[in-house]
Chain A
Amino acid sequence: MKYIRIVSVALFIIIGLILLYILNIILLPEWVTNEGATLSTRGIYEEEKNSLDVVFVGSSNIYNGISPLEIWEETGIPSYSYGSPEQKIWLSYYAIKEVLAYQKPKIIMLDVNEAFSNDYLEEDNIRKLLDNMKFGKAKLEAINDKMLNYDSELSYIFPIIRYHTRWNSLTKKDFQRLFLDYKSTYKGYVLSKQVTPFEGNTNYLEYTEKTDQIQEVSKKYLDKIVELCQEKGTELILIDMPSPHSWTYPRHKAISDYAESKEVEFLELNCVDEIGIDWSKDTPDGGWHLNVNGASKVSKYIAKYLQENYNLTDYRENPNYSEWNNDLEKYLKDKEN
């Protein structure tokens, strides 16, 4: 009798958890699961374990500005753009932790544009990363971080607590989500073909003696990132994604000094003539981000940089990566049309 009772209680709990899991998925809003950034944060789990050699981490600049399939086309290096909107350095720390739990990348490139802005992040932007993060050490640490200034930590584990009010606006799409495959064909990259020229001064990196200050919290987490990468034997490269709105010479100087002090690489991407960004054509939103033209140029430059400076394997002929060639084909087609 006692045995049957234990089994039935266990069964009741298991079925309950399964139902909870299903309802959690149905009630997630579309913007958390299937829009822009979230294609990147969700799709990374669809990549084969330990299959990526380079992972780009950071804000929207990352998933709008670096197209891993362009790098693949040029060099055969498998990479992924893993980012969420306005992702601050403190959140990037947990993103990197998560990456390292599923992948063993030789290089992590971290976008530092957000190192100078304040640390406040809107809840929806945090959720675009964390709601898609799998349950594990990185996620638990992130939701316990006091930078996460929102009361219900539990709602990051059971998003239904946050989104249960959506019962009143469910559509067919929400149920279809149960059967969706979240693979990101473009490897986290979000393709934009829009063009809205930047109309300001394109010589925004004028030399000055001044140095900007990296935000205190960002600095603390940058230190933690450097330490984490060292510990895991992953090379960390800091990058500043091209953006006339957020990048300045004093910032360039601050990051250069920081990189030098920590002995990490800093790959400068703003106003590198060789990349050849044309701010009248290569931006979808007046200079905040890059469109597919810009991303293609930056990606090619990074590809060349990686090839010249690191001894990374070319997997293009490797049968385990045959899917990548199909994805590339699709990408090229989408890029043209």
Chain B
Amino acid sequence: MEINSLKFILFVAVVIIAYIITPKKYKWVTLLLSSYIFYWLNSNQLIIFMLITTLSIYLLSLLLGKIDKRLELEIKDKEKEEKKKLKEKAKTKKKLVVLIALIINLGILGVIKYFNFFSGNINTLLNLFNLNIQIPSMQFILPLGISYYTLQGLSYVIDVYRQKIDPDKNLGRVALFLAFFPQIVEGPIGRYKELATKLYEPHKIEFQNIKSGSLLVLWGFFQKMVIADRLAILVDTVFGNYTQYSGLIIICAILFYTFQIYADFAGCINIVRGVAEIFGITLAENFKRPFFSKSVQEFWRRWNITLGTWLKEYVFYSVAFSKWYLHLTTKLKEKLKKHAHLSKTILALCPLFFVWFSNGLWHGASWKYIFYGMYYFVIMSIGMLLEPVFKKTINFLKININSKKYKIWQMLRTFILVNIGMLIFRATNISSAFTILKSMFNFSNFGEILNGKMLSLGLDKGEFTIVIISLIIMLIVDFLQEKNYHVREEIGKRNVLIRWTIYYVGIFSIIIFGIYGKDYNPSSFIYGQF
């Protein structure tokens, strides 16, 4: 059941009714059952993997809690030395427990998602050494949302390990936290502290929430079905046969892809957040107008925010606060005493490398995605290393960095860098990404834009018009939000005629202009496969 389908809407409607009629005490059971039914409808028996994750993180967290409690009792009235010893011992135990959690959960993810990638690479290596051993490749079906709930589960165990939260004795609450049905598809990746209680507590379904949530769902549908899937038609044509195109057509395809993936992913998140809102649950934001970013760093604070936060919290900090790294820090600081900036940058870059490597790998089991992560790592490294140079240049040229012009330039620069990133993301592999990048600068067929070739890529004049109008609408909405204008609230304040007109135009533009049905092939959400 795709969440951009009528079936999903009907499913949600049934869950809402079930939620309303369930007694307060058991409302969470309704949500959990619905989530499991939704999971079963999508992935059947593969639900077993989610259950393993749920049980493992639940039990191991309890164990972590027990170790902490026992330690507390044991160190009472003990000497300082002994206290330290006991603490060390407990820490080792806890590390072991968290390691088991990591092995189980990353193990499942690793085998199902990355087995062929790793085995393929090992085979290549073995071939290099003329060893005639081959690891066979295997076909796995990815269980729904595995990349998302695994991260959520791990964040829960690690938070318990770090004593940021207490382990939850209620298995139901932990299970619901991992399985909540709209969220399981593509995130946002939730944190236990912020989400679990919200999901578990009974909420009254308010008319206002239904209205406002539905409007967000509607907007999500518009982004996905009218914008993203329409852009995909041209993008697929060009990227599917990229050697045939160059110059403006390539540029157009890359640009379209950037908007496509944004409308696709943000659209899905809006549907998910809208549905949650109907139940009175506010989910974390995953996008904050990323195209208004003035630097690549800022872009990643606005794009797939919950993944970024996760990586910062559990990869960056894990590396930055690890023993070996602290050791390295002291050593490096000593050696580069005279180059404070350099040592600071190098120290920041090391954990960042792991962050971007994980980011790339998380997106998919292929070198292309790792390259994609590395692309951002390199850009950020250059940015950080050359910061003094940039500053000097700005001073030398007397550029007012607070001027609007400069900010627009920053946004444009970021947007271009992001587009190149998206090109890597979309291309079949690294070498084709380079070919496409090169052909982008080939303007020998400049006339193409006038001779109608642009209109032969799957979108005719009418479709192009819809693309442009809907992109403008999306950017206007983003712009208004950027200016702190609450679009949905403002719509709610208008008189009934304006409000209803907006609702009807929204609904019917999806019905009429949406890409679905026999003449089009409705597509899955891009981020659902990660």
Contact = CB atoms under 8 A, between A and B. Distances in A.
Interface stretch (A12-20, A32-40, A219-227): A12-20
Contact of A152 (B460, B507, B512, B518): B518
Contacts of B463: 168
A167 B503 contact: no
B507 A165 contact: no
Contact of B520 (A5, A12, A27, A165): A165
B504 A164 contact: no
Interface residues of B, number: 20
B514 interface: yes
A164 B511 contact: yes
A161 B508 contact: no
Contacts of A27: 512
A10 interface: no
Contacts of A161: 511, 516-517
A325 to B, nearest CB: 44
B409 interface: no
Given A15-B500, A23-B512, A162 B517 contact: yes
A154 B512 contact: no
A238 interface: no
B141 interface: no
Nearest to B461: A168
A280 interface: no
A160 interface: yes
Given A5-B207, A168-B462, A168-B463, A23 B517 contact: no
Contacts of A118: none
A155 interface: yes
Interface string B503-530: 1100110011110111110000000000
Contacts of B500: 12, 15
Nearest to A5: B207
B507 A167 contact: no
Contact of B511 (A5, A8, A12, A23): A23
B128 interface: no
Nearest to A150: B518
A16 B207 contact: no
A16 B518 contact: no
Interface residues on A, range: 10 to 19
A60 to B, nearest CB: 24
A2 to B, nearest CB: 9
Given A5-B207, A12-B503, A167 B518 contact: no
Interface in A141-181: 152, 154-155, 160-162, 164-165, 167-168
Nearest to A169: B462
Nearest to B520: A165
Interface string A271-285: 000000000000000
A60 B511 CA distance: 34
Contacts of A16: 504, 507
A120 B207 CA distance: 49
Nearest to A165: B519
B508 A155 contact: no
Contacts of A5: 207
B512 A164 contact: yes
B307 to A, nearest CB: 35
Interface string B236-262: 000000000000000000000000000
B6 interface: yes
Contacts of B462: 167-168
Interface in A198-224: none
Nearest to B509: A167
A160 B504 CA distance: 16
A162 B517 CA distance: 6
A227 to B, nearest CB: 35
B305 to A, nearest CB: 34
A20 B504 CA distance: 10
A19 B513 CA distance: 15
B469 to A, nearest CB: 13
Given A23-B508, A154-B6, A167 B513 contact: yes
B463 to A, nearest CB: 7
Contacts of B496: 8
A4 B517 CA distance: 37
A160 B519 CA distance: 12
A164 B514 CA distance: 8
B512 A167 contact: yes
A45 B46 CA distance: 51
Contacts of B519: 165
A19 B504 contact: yes
Contact of A164 (B6, B503, B507, B517): B517
A155 B503 CA distance: 23
B517 A168 contact: no
Interface in A24-47: 27
Contact of A162 (B504, B508, B514, B518): B518
Nearest to A154: B6
A164 B518 CA distance: 10
Contacts of A15: 500, 504
A19 to B, nearest CB: 6
Contacts of B504: 15-16, 19
Given A152-B517, A161-B516, 16 more contacts: A16-B507, A23-B512, A154-B6, A160-B511, A160-B512, A161-B511, A161-B517, A162-B517, A162-B518, A164-B512, A164-B513, A164-B514, A164-B517, A165-B517, A167-B512, A168-B463
24 contacts: A5-B207, A8-B496, A12-B500, A12-B503, A15-B504, A16-B507, A19-B504, A20-B508, A20-B511, A23-B512, A27-B512, A152-B517, A154-B6, A155-B517, A160-B512, A161-B511, A161-B516, A162-B517, A165-B519, A165-B520, A167-B462, A167-B512, A168-B460, A168-B462
Interface of B: 6, 207, 460, 462-463, 496, 500, 503-504, 507-508, 511-514, 516-520
Pairs A-B, 10 closest by C-beta atoms: A168-B462, A165-B519, A167-B512, A164-B512, A161-B517, A162-B517, A164-B511, A160-B511, A5-B207, A19-B504
